[in-house]
Structure 1
Amino acid sequence: MQRLPLIAPQPPRLSLMTDALRAIEARGTYSNGGPVVRGFEAAATARLFGGQGACLAVANATIGLMLAIRHAAGPRAGGDALALVPAFTFAATAQAVQWAGLTPVLCDIDPEDWTMRADAEAAAFARYGDRIAVVVPYATFGAALDLARYRDYHARGIGVVVDAAASLGTIDADGHQFGAGAPFPIVYSMHATKVFATAEGGLVHSGDTARIEALRRMSNFGFDGGRSAEGPGLNAKLPEVLGMLATAKLEELEGIAAHRAALDRVYRDRLGGFADAHGFQFQALRGSRPALQFQSLLLPRAFAGHRAAIIAALAGQGIGAGHYFSPHLGEQPWFRSSCVIDRALPVADEIAGRILSLPVTDGMTETDVDTVCTALIDACRSAGLDGLRVERRGRAVHSALIVGGGPAGTALLTAATKGDQLVPLAETGLAIVERDAVLGRGEIGSYAITSDSTAETFLTAVKDNVHGDIAALTEHPAGREVALYAGRLGVPLARSTPLLEATGARLGTLVAQHGGVVATRSEVVEARRTPQGDWAMRVRNLLTGDERVMRAANLVIATGGYQDRAHVAAEVIAGAPIGDLAGDRLVLGDDFLRLGGLDRLRARLAEVRAPRIAIVGGSTSAMAAAVLLLKASPALPLGAGALRLYHRRPLRPFYRSAEEARADGFTDFGAEDICPLSGFVYRLAGFRLEARELVLRMLGVGGRAPDPRMALCRLTGENDAAMRAELETADVVIGALGYRPRALPLYDAEGARIALMADHPGRPRLVDQRCRVLDAEGRVVPGVYGLGLASGHVPDGPLGGEASFSGKANGLWLWQNDIGRMIVDQILADRARAAA
């Protein structure tokens, strides 16, 4: 089988350069701007840029970006200055901005040429004004870029640095090397995978020779003629051996770039004719010739969810394919947590969701391109259109479909790995449908609080896993970061997201490798029982709006919980609905606990000198709200008893044993409050971590001193009038009354909506003790399971738990272990019965 790899590096061969290597050895100069590198810079300026300006060769393009951005930012680096960066680019662009001491603002891209769009830049300038120190556009995939508006920014004193990593060899509309003579730095890559392939290296060009000389000083530790640093700097110098490779590549560049451009035309001619029938879309190219590292196109919208299968089908034909810049920066955990993303990125979402990268290499022929195109069309027909028709005809029935691939949905997969059941589960036709671009993270990272699960609990999902690539996540940067919180009072939820996402990615890969289906950026709209007894789900692609039908013998609802203002407002507290007592002073606990919630409350109370805040609820979220208020920095002006927590049931702390509880001075428990399996006191009802510490203080356990700013108010029915008066006069009332399960619309075989217990008012449960979804009458809905926040499962019997517990059991450990395994076992048993 002929193999056509996606990338086939062909740098000049060192083995043919022995004389030049000996000359370097004879001179004894290996770096520090030796004659080979300086000769290459001069030759590149003359041959590529028509003698305009100057060039600086650097160790790699990322370091070149760091230097150029740091220089452009000047003294504003390290403060609150911002840099505009397109969301659809390589990680190096934003990483360089951060290393240069600025915060990236991610902007959406143009739907035609996939570069940073002008109106997104304008909106950012309108919002942030002078805080924007530098603009860093990216010449996407080696295409040229219209530099007119960036020249205007430069003229206005705004720093501009162009990331043109793949554009050495690109010709602009005037017939010149793209970027020639620009007044600001243009940074190119000479990495082995680029058209200008060496081993490693970068080239910075500008028409402003003084700017290049300033960057040269920065590339040598900030030295200016001596050994004393006169400004910021680092070691960015290109070694002489790599300069030798770069010099040789200059001789080859024109032929290579022209050859690849010819392959691009074949791709467009071959697939462009399918624009109506199949919907392949190509990047609109600026300039007269791109320098293509690979071919980039968009899959037809209807096939976007089948990209992994299409890539696998191409691989089966010996053809390499990928999806560069997917996920885009706004979907990557580090940048989501460290960049400014205050606007939606719909175009970047769609482009990243449909992008496909195909081979364009030095050794390919036009016949090879035709082979790739034929294989692509066949793969799309097989994995996309025909697959949809099979599902609509009802011939493809998955063993199970998980609705929701967030923390609960992936916890089910984790539970399967712990029993070495994930591969058998995937091989039976498991499917996962998730609204997000990736599995695992859900909405956890949007909360400003710490977890009620320990760092050790997060790590047990991966530690010693039977799948080596999952077990290796303990040494992944995300795993090491969570490990920093071992032995502490929880993990900041925003810091747990990278590990959840990394785990979700590897779980999803395992599922796909063993025959399962992972459909991201998709949602299940509804599920209907078929006459055959399985379930038909209407699944919508959120990028394209296209819908298809997927069938499954079992359905797992893992869509989490939610708070609804109407339900919270209707809750009767102290003899009256909380909505009547609080009016527009009512704040949902979920809104307050999210990032920015505390700031919104501060703004609300800005004119109140001595605010009085009421929290209604005895849940974990209620105590988390209290912790967030009490440790706010700067502190809120709370006087004695200004924060009051209203709760019905006694507040109980968790202990690992009765002996531990008594030793701490806590004796308010009996035999029915101890888990018979673990010996834990209040295993399910007890507060943990930060919430536990606050409860212990407020109860005065072990001589602890309560926080004078807070008061506990037990709702007993005897003091309703006084408490109603307090709630009516509080400046803010936070309704932290737990969550409702987010159920899926289900219909029976006749098309009638199935009323669920989850539809009841208040905080109903979704499932029974075996995690089976219940209808409004408490009957099991066949083949439908549920887990996750507010699902309502209460461990008992072989799962343990104290007899006195009557609430809902939520917890990552439970989902990843006992609860998850319970569902997996039932699905596999059902499959075995069906096979028999």
Structure 2
Amino acid sequence: MDRLPLIAPRPPKLSLMAEALAEIEARGVYSNGGPVVRGFEAAATAQLFAGEGDCLAVGNATLGLMLAIRHAAGPRAGKGNFALIPGFTFAATAHAAEWAGLTPLLCDIDPEDWAASAAAEARAFEKYGDRIAAVVPYATFGAGIDLARYRDYAARGVGVVIDAAASLGARDAEGRQFGAGEPFAVVYSMHATKVFATAEGGLVHSGDAELIAAMRRMSNFGFAGGRSAEGPGFNAKLPEVLGLVARARLDEIEGVAAHRMRLDAVYRKALGGFAAEKGFEFQALRGSRPALQFQSLLLPRAFAGHRAAIIAMLGEQGIGAAHYFSPHLGEQPWFRAHGVSEPLPVCDDIGARVLSLPVTDAMSEADVERVCAALIDACAASGLKGLAGAERRGAHVHAALLVGGGPAGTALLTAASKSDALVRLAGAGLAVVERDAVLGRGEIGTYAITSDSTAETFLTAVKGNGHDGIAALEGHSAGQEVAMHVGKLGVPLARTTPFLEATGAELAAIVAGRGGIVATRSEVVEARRTADGVWAAQVINRVTGEVRVMRAAKLVIATGGYQTRANVEAEQVAGTALGALAGERLMTGDEFLRIGGLDALRERIAGKPAPKIAIIGGSTSALAAAALILKAAPALALGAEALALHHRRPLRPFYRSAEEAHADGFTDFSAQDICPVSGFVYRLAGFRLEARELVLRMLGVGGRAPDPRMALRRIGDRDDAATRGEIAGADVVIGALGYRPRALPLFDVDGSRIALAADATGRPRLVDQQCRVIDAEGRPVPGVFGIGLASGHVPDGKLGGEASFSGKANGLWLWQNDIGQMIVDQLLDTPAQAVA
């Protein structure tokens, strides 16, 4: 049976252009706007765009986007401004915006035509206003979009660039080439995989010939007649040889696009009937004809989680399939770290279900019918056979179910990966369920502070790892970015996300490749103990809403910690509930520490000539909040002791040895404060990195000068009335009072809710000293373990730690090593290892 590849390039053959190639050689002009390329531009303007405006041929469409976005941004490029881009598009669009000096600002799409949503764009303009220097909508999958909206934006002075990469050959409602005569730049691709297939190239069109002339100068290093740059530019020119291929394709494009449109009609007829039964869904097409690179549709929600299996089954039938653009931009590590994203629920839905099927020049209508039949069979098989079906019926029992694949969950997997334990776990039947689209990142990237773990600690997760793919991450761009902070006071948390995601992807590949299951965009909402002694977890797909049951012998809860306003308000400070003291002036520590929290603080104190800020708490988050305020740029207008830190316990710095502490002039410790395993002073209670430096300054250790803007206020050392009065007089009160463990609801065999220690008030523990989840009476819940922020394990014995420590130990190194290994040993029923 003939193979039907997803994409089968058929550009015009250079081997049939011997005479034209010889003419290029004879002229000796190979680039720099030679006669072949200029002839193609003129012919394209005449044949495709009815002679309106002008065209510029460029080396590829990404270069065209870079030129067009840079021109559209003008003097606003490189000044912290945005390019508004739909989240459901190719990475090249957002990359081009970055290269042009703008930050990608991602917005949601319309559920019908999968292009940028008018309502989402309007919300973005309302929120960001003039900071949006350019709007770059995408004509999704070669279809048209409503350009009237973008003409209105352009009339208001907003830069507009249309990403029409796949749309050369598409026709609008009037039967003209999509984008013809528009006042802004419309950028098309001529890549080998597109309908207008060459080897490589791009075409920029505008009805404004002067705009094209300006971009022509930019495409030639910003030269304007001479050899002196008079504006921004680089080399974006299309060479003469590729101009030959483009000119030949121009004569073929009408027939090629029409043929592909006929194939689209067959797809819609064969599969469209299932839509009435909540089956396959197709993109709503604007205009009279799209230029289809491939056929895109949405799987029924019930089958979205089995897309990989469906693609594999199609492959066994010789049919190529893929999922463009999934993951969407908002899920890709680079743009998570370097862009700004508004909520993208429609992108999430479309991205989770989209399936790309072949539409090629060589295909027949019978070939399309074959693809459709194979797709229906694959969907039926995925719904009725295999492990997925067993899980829905609750028959299969996993050895272990990891609930949460964020930083704590992947730290457990990392600990296992440092030996052969991860392979053994996966082979025994490990399942990982994570609510995000990927493993690893969790919510770390949403915080504006630096880590309290060193860059070296992050890198130990991969350095020398026995799994080659993990070890290679040390040299990955994300690993190199973390390594830039080696020897410094932590890593900006937003910059750790790509590394955590890359690590999560490698760990997921090992688990899935060795027989385990990784279910993303899914969430365990509860687990019930069954009569046969296993746990039945209810799992919901967060995109499709599908609910299934996954059974497991053991559970690991790695769902992190949380902070609620109600808990912070209820905290007793100087004999009074903090909520009653602070009222509307209260910000929770978690709220303040996230990206945007400092801006919210600025708004609260705007117009106050001598603002006063009170931070309540003595945790790492409290010191991180203070550091964020003190190093704010531009600086906040704080007078002497305008920032007060109210704390109950003494503030203790970490030292690597008693000798190091004494040499620095710090003597406030005893033998009870020294870890007997490592010799560290305040190994668990001591502040590290940026928080440590601030504590040392404020305590005046070693002759350091305290920051005059800040004051330390020890609750209990002064009259309660004085403390209450100072808090009452603050303009903003930040309640940095720690986190609670996020416990999974657990039910016993009789259906009754198991009361957990984590359900108690205040900041309770989730686990005991063996990382076993404990009930309200302190008894371990059989087969359930916990790890992560606020879980409450305190290292002791062979794990070390000072005897005087009475808090909760949170630390990436501990999770990736001692604590993680302790849980792994219990999951595998192996003797506990002696870990130092």
Q: TM-score, normalised by structure 1?
A: 0.94
State the match for 1:57 in structure 2.
57
Matched to 2:147, the amino acid is L
Task: Specify the alignment match of 1:185 in structure 2.
Answer: 185
1:217 maps to amino acid: R
Q: Deviations over 1:622-660 (max 9, x none)?
A: 111121222223333333333332323222211122222
Residue in 1 that maps onto 2:418: 418
**What's the CA shift for 1:222?**
2.1
Q: Which residue of 1 aligns with 2:712?
A: 712
Alpha-carbon separation, structure 2, partners of 1:441 and 1:532: 35
Q: CA deviation at 1:157?
A: 4.6
Provide Cα deviations, 1:279-303, integer angstroms capped at 9, x if missing partner: 2111111223222212211111122
Aligned to 1:258: 258
- What residue is the counterpart of 2:374 in the other structure? 375
**Per the alignment, in what secondary structure is the counterpart of residue 829 of structure 1?**
coil
- Counterparts of 2:21 and 2:568 in 1: how far apart (Å)? 76
Q: Aligned residue for 1:362? A: 361
Shift of 1:547: 1.8
| Conserved 8 A contact 1:388-1:549 | no
Q: CA deviation at 1:191?
A: 1.2
Q: Helix, strand or coil: the match of 2:829?
A: helix
> Do the aligned partners of residues 827 and 376 (structure 1) sit closer, same or farther apart at CA in structure 2, a change above 3 Å counting?
farther
Percent identity over the alignment is 76
Query: What's the CA shift string for 1:476-502, capped at 9, x where partnerless?
Result: 222211111110000111111121122
Structure 1 counterpart of 2:124: 124
C-alpha distance in 1, partners of 2:607/2:57?
Answer: 57
Per the TM alignment, residue 747 of structure 1 is displaced from its structure 2 partner at its CA by 0.5
Alignment partner, residue 327 of structure 1:
327
Is 2:161 the partner of 1:161?
A: yes
| Aligned partners of 1:67 and 1:215 also within 8 Å | yes
Q: How much is the aligned-residue C-alpha RMSD, in angstroms?
A: 2.4
Shift of 1:384: 4.0
Identify if the C-alpha distance between structure 1 residues 82 and 563 changes in structure 2 by more than 3 Å, giving closer, same or farther. closer
Alignment CA distance shift 1:50-1:717 (3 Å): closer
**Larger deviation: 701-710 or 556-565?**
701-710
Q: What CA distance in whole angstroms lies between the structure 1 residues aligned with 2:475 and 2:547?
A: 40
Mapped to 2, the partners of 1:51 and 1:634 lie a distance apart of 52
Residue of structure 1 equivalent to 2:658: 658
In structure 2, what is the equivalent of residue 691 of structure 1? 691
* 2: CA distance, partners of 1:660 / 1:77: 49
Match of 1:834 in 2: none
Secondary structure at the counterpart of residue 782 of structure 2? strand
In structure 2, how many angstroms separate the alpha carbons of the residues matched to 1:728 and 1:223?
64
Q: Structure 2 CA distance, aligned partners of 1:50 and 1:634? A: 53
8 Å CA contact retained: 2:393, 2:548: no
Distance 1:606 1:134 in 2: 30
Distance between the aligned counterparts of 1:365 and 1:624, measured in 2?
A: 63
What SS class does the counterpart of residue 526 from structure 1 fall into? strand
1:562 maps to amino acid: Y
- Verify the 8 A CA contact 1:303 1:385 in the aligned structure 2: no
Alpha-carbon distance change, 178 to 671 in structure 1, aligned in 2, over 3 angstroms: same
> Does the residue aligned with 2:498 lie in a helix, a strand or coil?
helix
Partners of 2:220 and 2:359 in 1: CA distance: 36
Rounded Cα–Cα distance in structure 2 between residues aligned with 1:108 and 1:315: 32
Name the SS of the counterpart of 1:356 in structure 2: strand
Whole-angstrom distance in 2 between the partners of 1:642 and 1:125 = 36
SS in 1 for 2:192: coil
Cα distance in 1, alignment partners of residues 173 and 94 from structure 2: 28
Counterpart position of 2:284:
284
Q: Tell me how far apart the structure 2 counterparts of residues 627 and 323 of structure 1 sit (CA, whole Å).
A: 44
Taking the aligned partners of 2:158 and 2:599, their CA distance within structure 1 comes to: 31
> 1:4: which partner in 2?
4
Give, in angstroms, the shift of residue 540 of structure 1.
1.7
Distance, in Å, in 2 between the alignment partners of 1:252 and 1:416 is 57
Tell me how far 1:551 sits from its aligned partner. 1.6
Shift of 1:186: 1.6
Decide whether aligned partners of structure 1 residues 657 and 380 sit closer, same or farther in structure 2, where only a CA change above 3 A counts. farther
- Determine if contact 1:388/1:548 at 8 Å carries over to the other structure: no
1:667-710, Cα deviation, whole Å (9 max, x unpaired): 22233322232222221111100111111122222222222333
CA distance in 1, matches of 2:28, 2:60: 23
How far, CA to CA, are the matches of 1:402 and 1:177 in structure 2?
52
Is residue 2:70 matched to residue 1:70?
yes
Q: Which residue identity lines up with residue 146 of structure 2 in the other structure? A: D
Matching of residue 735 in structure 1 with residue 735 in structure 2 = yes
Q: Give the equivalent residue in structure 1 for 2:524.
A: 524
* Residues in 2 aligned to 1:351 and 1:749: alpha-carbon distance in whole angstroms: 39
Q: Which moved more, 1:166-175 or 1:485-494?
A: 166-175
How many angstroms does 1:145 deviate by? 2.3
Gaps of 5+ in 1: 832-836
Separation (CA, whole Å) in 2 of partners of 1:799 and 1:811: 13
1:103-502 equivalent positions in 2, closer than 5 A: 103-277=103-277, 279-341=279-341, 343-384=342-383, 389-502=389-502
Shift of 1:777: 0.8
CA distance in 1, matches of 2:780, 2:434: 25
The answer to whether the 8 A contact 1:398-1:552 is kept is yes
| SS of residue paired to 2:25 | helix
Distance verdict in 2 for CA 1:693–1:157, change over 3 Å: closer
**Matches of 1:651 and 1:185, distance apart in 2:** 59
Partner of 1:632: 632
Q: Which residue of 1 aligns with 2:834?
A: none
Structure 2 SS opposite 1:398:
strand
Provide the aligned length of Structure 1 versus Structure 2.
830
How far off is 1:521 after superposition?
2.1
Shifted more, 121-130 versus 507-516: the winner is 121-130
Within 2, Cα distance between the matches of 1:146 and 1:708? 58
Code of the residue aligned with 1:734 in structure 2: it is I
**CA displacement, residues 703-745 of structure 1 (integer Å, 9 cap, x when unaligned):** 2222233333333477444434433433333222211101111
Does the C-alpha gap of structure 1 residues 564 and 230 become closer, same or farther in structure 2, counting only changes over 3 Å? Answer: closer
Q: How far off its partner does 1:340 sit?
A: 4.2
Instruction: Classify the secondary structure of the residue corresponding to 1:84.
Output: strand
Match of 1:327, SS? coil
Deviations 1:252-305 (A, max 9, x none): 333332333233222222222222345211111122322221221111112223
1:680 aligns with 2:676: no
Partner secondary structure for residue 644 of structure 1: strand
CA distance in 2, matches of 1:804, 1:394: 47
Question: What code does the residue aligned with 1:575 have?
Answer: G
Higher mean alpha-carbon deviation, 295-304 vs 514-523, is at 514-523
How far apart in 2 are the matches of 1:747 and 1:827? 21
- Report deviation, 1:411: 1.3
> What SS does the corresponding residue of 1:550 show, helix, strand or coil?
strand
SS at match of 1:428: helix
Question: Could you tell me how far apart the structure 2 residues matched to 1:158 and 1:697 are?
Answer: 48
1:218-265 CA distance string (max 9 Å, x none): 211222222233332221100112112222323433333233323322
Shift of 1:30: 1.0
SS of the aligned residue for 1:276 comes to helix
CA 1:4–1:695 in structure 2 vs 1: closer, same or farther (change >3 Å)?
Answer: same
Q: Retained in 2: the 8 A contact 1:278–1:300? A: yes
Aligned equivalents of 1:264, 1:784: Cα separation in 2: 52
- Single out whichever of 608-617 and 105-114 deviates more from structure 2: 608-617
Instruction: Label 1:381 to 1:509 Cα distance change in 2 as closer, same or farther (>3 A).
Output: farther
User: In structure 1, what is the Cα distance between the partners aligned to 2:266 and 2:529?
Assistant: 48
**Which amino acid in structure 2 is aligned with residue 360 of structure 1?**
V
Distance 2:684 2:248 in 1: 69
Q: For 2:275, what is the secondary structure of its paired residue?
A: coil
**Structure-2 residue corresponding to 1:93:** 93
Residue 830 (structure 1) shift: 8.3
CA contact (8 A) 1:406 1:434 kept: yes
Q: 1-side partners of 2:39 and 2:89: how far apart?
A: 32
Distance 1:102 1:126 in 2: 19
The secondary structure found in structure 2 opposite 1:712 is strand
Secondary structure at the residue paired with 2:579?
A: helix
Which residue in the other structure is 1:791 paired with? 791
Question: Normalization by structure 2: what TM-score?
Answer: 0.94
* Cα distance change of structure 1 residues 720 and 144 upon mapping to structure 2, 3 Å threshold: closer
Partner residue, 2:14:
14
How far has the Cα of 1:199 moved from its partner?
1.9
